[in-house]
Structure 1
Amino acid sequence: MIKQDAKQVCDLISSRRQVGVRTIVAIAGPPASGKSTLAEAVVQSLNAQKSSAVPSATLVPMDGYHLDNRVLETRGLRAKKGAPETFDAFGFCKAIKALQSARHESFHPMFDRQMDLAIANAIAVHPETPIVVVEGNYLLMKSDPWRMLEDVFALTVFVSPTLEELESRLQQRWIKHGFDPETALKRTKTNDLPNAERVIRDSRKADLTLSQNYTEFGMRYAF
C-alpha cells in the first residue's frame, strides 16, 4: 500500500514539475498519520530513478523547527510540545519559501527524537536538486504564518486515517517511549489528539487526500 501511494505521489509530482523554480511538495497530516513514512518513501523513489550524485529530491521535515525545550519551559508550553505555537513557524515558512528560488546550498535543522532536540544544519539541500518534499502537521493550515506557503507548493498531499486509528497509534507511540498505558492514553487525549483534530479541522483541502492505514512504527516518525 505504501508503495502504491508513493508511486501515485511521484506520478503527480512529475506532472506538476515547474520550470525555472524548484518544485516544492507538501505532505501534511495529523500526528501519527503516516505522513513521515510516505514522505520518506516518495523521496527514496524519486532518488532511485536517477544515478547522478546530485539528489533528485530532498526531504525537509517541519520537525526540525521545534522550539527548544528551554524556550518551551519558560513559556509554559513544555506539556504542549507539538502544538502549532511550539514551533518557529515564521522561520520555517520563510525557509521553505526561500527554497523555491534558491540558487545556493541551504541547510536545515533535523529533530532528533532520542535527544528530544533539533540539530542545526543537519539537512543539506543541493542547489541543483529540483524537488524538495516538505513534511509536517501544519503545512496546509489556513491561518498565519502557514498560509504564506499556499502559493509555494506545486503539489499538496494530506494523509489522514480515522481519529480512532490515530488515537491508537498515538497511545502506542507513548508506550514505546516507556509510559504505562494509562499515562500514554492521558498524554494522547490531552495534547496529541487535540492537535490531530485541529490539523484535520483547520487545514485547507489538498490536491490528494490519502486515508490508507500504513504503519509508521519501526521507522522515523514525527510530531
Structure 2
Amino acid sequence: MNKAYEVTFSPFRSFTREEWSKLEEHPMFPVSDIDLTKLQALNEPLTLKEVEDIYIPLIRLLQIHLTHYRNLHNERDQFFSNKSKPIPYIIGIAGSVAVGKSTTARVLQKLLSMTPEQPKVELITTDGFLYSNDELQKRGLLNKKGFPESYDAKQLLAFLASVKSGRDIFEIPVYSHLYYDVIKGQMQIIERPDILIVEGINVLQVSPGKKIRKRVFVSDFFDFSIYVDASEKDLREWYIERFKKLQQTAFQDPDSYFHQYASYSEKKLLKFANEVWDEINLPNLLQNILPTRFRADLILEKGECHFVRGVRIRKI
C-alpha cells in the first residue's frame, strides 16, 4: 500500500485509486450507454474510466449496506409481528464549494437506479433550505451565504424527520443558481423514494451556531455519508475556473443575479473571484466544512482535474 495512505490506528481503511478500482473489476452496469454529459456539472470532467474505477466499486459497497438495511427491516418486522413499509435509505454527500459534490450525487443517483432492484432514487440539495436573500439581508448574513447559520435548519430537519417517519409525499423549496435565491412558490415534489441522496456543503455539520441549541442534526438522519475532499489549492483553482466559465455562459443571461460581472475584464473578474474565495468560501471551508470530513463513512480524495486518487472507508 502507498505509504501516503498508511495511518496507524486510523478508524479508516485507506485505498489508493488502483487498489479501489480492483474491488469490482466486472461491473454489471451498461456504463457505456450512460450519457455522462447529463451527470457532470460545469467544469467538472467525468470520464467512463472514472465511473468504472471509482463509482462502480462504490455502488457495490452501497449495495452491501442497502442489502443489510433491507434485511434488518424485514427481521424487525418478523420480531414485532408487524408488516411495515420500508423507510427510505438516506445518503449524505458533503464537501467544499467547487469540489464536485453535485457530479458525485448525480452519478450515484444514476448508477443506484440501475442496480438489479431498480430502486427509486431521489436527489435533493440543501440549497433549497437556504434563507431567502431578503431574509439573509435582514439577518446580516448575505455575505455568509453557505455558512451553517444561513440555512433554515429547522425546516431541513423537519423534512428529514418526515422522510424517516414514513410519510409518502414531501415538498421542499427550490433554489435557483440563476437568480441566486430560493424561488418563491416553487417546490420540488418527492414521492416516497427507496433511496434519498442529500447533497450540501454543511450536511455533516453538528454546530449550527453559537446562539442555537439543538440536540438533533442533519447527519443524524443519514444511513451512509460521503465527504468529497480535495486540497485547498485545487479547490481554489477549480472555483476560479468555474467562475470564468460562468462568465462566458450563465452570467450572460440578463436575468442572472451575476449579470453585472459579464462585462468584467479577465483581470477584474479574477480579482473579484479570488476575493470571494478568500473572504467567504475559504473561511467557511476551514471553519465549518473541513472539520466535518472525518465524520463521514467514506471519503473520496480528489487530485488534479477532479479525478479521485484515493478512498478512505470507515472501519466496522
TM-score greater than 0.5 by the shorter chain:
yes
Q: Is the 8 A contact 2:92 2:219 kept in 1?
A: no
SS of corresponding position for 1:170: helix
CA contact (8 A) 1:157 1:206 kept: yes
Query: CA 1:2–1:102 in structure 2 vs 1: closer, same or farther (change >3 Å)?
Result: farther
What 5-or-longer segments of structure 2 have no aligned partner?
1-48, 74-85, 209-213, 248-260, 262-268, 308-316
Alignment match of 2:202 (pick from 138, 145, 151): 138
Quick one: structure 1 residues 193 and 41, their matched pair in 2 at CA, closer, same or farther if it must change by over 3 Å? same
The TM-score normalised by the length of structure 1 is 0.84
Contact 2:205–2:218 (8 Å) recurs in 1: no
Which structure's CA Rg is the greater one?
2
Does residue 200 of structure 1 match 2:290?
A: yes
Q: Once the two structures are superposed, what CA deviation does each residue of 1:64-83 show, in whole Å capped at 9, x if it has no partner?
A: 11111111112221122111
Map 1:13-162 → 2, pairs under 5 A: 13-17=62-66, 18=69, 19=73, 20-49=86-115, 56-119=120-183, 120=185, 122-127=187-192, 129-144=193-208, 145=214, 148-162=217-231
Structure 1, 5-14 or 178-187: larger mean CA deviation: 5-14
Normalized against structure 2, the TM-score is what?
0.61
Instruction: Report the Cα offset of residue 143 of structure 1.
Output: 1.8
Once the two structures are aligned, what percentage of the paired residues are identical? 24
Q: Give how far 1:50 is off.
A: 6.4
Question: Closer, same or farther in 2 for the Cα pair 1:100/1:11, shift >3 Å?
Answer: farther
Q: Higher RCO, 1 or 2 (CA under 8 Å, sep at least 6)?
A: 1
Distance, in Å, in 2 between the alignment partners of 1:13 and 1:150 is 17
For residues 219 and 160 of structure 2, what CA distance do their matches in structure 1 show? 11
Give 1 or 2: higher helix fraction: 2
Larger mean CA deviation between 15-24 and 152-161 belongs to 15-24
Q: Unaligned stretches of 5+ in structure 1?
A: 217-223
The answer to whether the 8 Å contact 2:227/2:293 transfers is no
Contact 1:141 / 1:147 at 8 angstroms: preserved in 2? no
Query: Using the alignment, how far apart are the partners of 2:182 and 2:58 within structure 1?
Result: 28
State the 1:98 CA deviation: 1.8
Q: Distance in 1 between matches of 2:125 and 2:191?
A: 16
1:187 aligns with 2:276: yes
- For the Cα contact (< 8 Å) 2:172–2:187, is it kept in 1? yes
Q: How many residue pairs are counted as aligned between the two chains?
A: 213
Distance 1:74 1:103 in 2: 34
In 2, the alpha carbon distance for the partners of 1:193 and 1:175 equals 18
Query: Measured at CA, do residues 72 and 103 of structure 1 come closer, stay the same or move farther in structure 2, by a change above 3 Å?
Result: closer
Contact kept in structure 2, 1:5 and 1:38, CA below 8 Å: no
